[in-house]
Amino acid sequence: MRLRFKFNSAITLACLLGMGAASGLSYWIVQKSAVEEMEQQIQLLRSNALAVRTYTLSSIDPLLSEDNDILFLPQSVTAYAAQSVFSTFRETFPEYYYKEAALNPTNPADLPDAFEAAFIEKFRADPALDELVAVRDTARGRYFTMAFPLTVDNPGCLTCHSTPEAAPPAMVDLYGPDNGFGWELGETIGAQIISAPMALVDARARETVGVLVGAIAAAFLLVLVVTNVLLTRIVVFPVRRMSEVAEKVSLGDFDTPEYSKPGRDEISSLSASFNRMRRSLESAMRMIDD
């Protein structure tokens, strides 16, 4: 097996192992960073939803509640306003999902599934809990999900959700007297649930790892070319020349010119030692002939 092949095999193996380790580590780091960035984006979306809820409660509801006895307008409901605004947001960013799920909602469309209900129950069991994070497997793929408690903090909410008798008649006529009542001040009745596909995280990680692997591969090729050029000039060619001279001398051809590699490295020292050995051998052969 030639020296160059051994050298290239060793450095290629080392590079492949390094690329594999770097790829795995960078994928984990980038994925973690992407998840943290997604958490920040979800927090911003939640803050926007809370702002919409606050604006609706303070500015829209007073304007529309005057006619609640005759006509109930869903636009005065904070949950309806927040989810309507988010649906407009999804026209540009369809990968994000927002839901205000409640165990006993006025609108049955806001009922939670088993996964969402588990979030709500955890919030109800621990009032100090302010958020939950999970990765959910769905038919559409894996989703990164964050949930935040919805608590009855404003006494005004009880106007519509304490008892059917206290609620606006138009609202009771629209949704019926069986759902969305019995809420109490300070009670956690549901959760804001925001989800985004893990495919976004995975795509970013793959893209970054691809760029990293490409850069490492390019650097490896450059190193391989440079080291092969140096290996040829510093090691392979001098050793080959000394091997050729040694072969001829071993067959008794002492007329072959000496090869002396200039420099002070190990190969230069070897060539000098070889030439001394050759001259000693040549002298010994002449003494025998004489």
CATH number at residue 255: 1.10.8.500
Indicate if 189 and 229 belong to the same structural domain. no
Q: Is the pLDDT of residue 164 over 60?
A: yes
- Taking CA atoms, 221 is separated from 61, 225, 235, 244, in Å, by 68, 6, 20, 31
Domain that holds residue 179: 25-198
- Token pair listed for 158: 């009880």
pLDDT, average across residues 30-55: 87
Question: Between residues 59 and 118, which one has the greater pLDDT?
Answer: 118
Indicate if 179 and 269 belong to the same structural domain. no
Yes or no: say if 108 and 182 are a contact pair by the CB < 8 Å rule: no
Q: What is the pLDDT of residue 79?
A: 81
Q: Is the pLDDT of residue 207 over 60?
A: yes
Q: Look at residue 67 and tell me if it is in a domain.
A: yes
Query: How many beta carbons lie within 10 A of that of residue 222, not counting itself?
Result: 10
At which of 156, 171, 198 does a domain end? 198
CA 104, CA 186: separation in Å to the nearest integer? 15
Closest to 242 in 3D by CA, of 268, 279, 281:
268
Number of domains present in the structure of the chain: 2
Indicate if 96 and 227 belong to the same structural domain. no
Q: Look at residue 15 and tell me if it is in a domain.
A: no
Indicate if 119 and 149 belong to the same structural domain. yes
Per-residue confidence band for 67, with pLDDT thresholds at 50, 70 and 90: low
pLDDT in tens, 169-185: 777 777 788 888 888 88
Indicate if 193 and 212 belong to the same structural domain. no
Indicate if 149 and 261 belong to the same structural domain. no
Q: What is the pLDDT of residue 66?
A: 59
pLDDT, the chain, mean: 82
Indicate if 88 and 110 belong to the same structural domain. yes
Q: Is the pLDDT of residue 34 over 80?
A: yes
Give residue 10's region: left, alpha or beta (phi > 0; psi -120 to 50): alpha
CA 282 to chain centre: 71
Q: What is the pLDDT of residue 208?
A: 84
pLDDT, average across residues 111-122: 92
- Weakest mean pLDDT among 47-51, 193-197, 231-235: 231-235
Q: What is the pLDDT of residue 120?
A: 93
pLDDT in tens, 8-28: 888 888 888 888 888 888 888
Per-residue confidence band for 199, with pLDDT thresholds at 50, 70 and 90: confident
Yes or no: say if 70 and 170 are a contact pair by the CB < 8 Å rule: yes
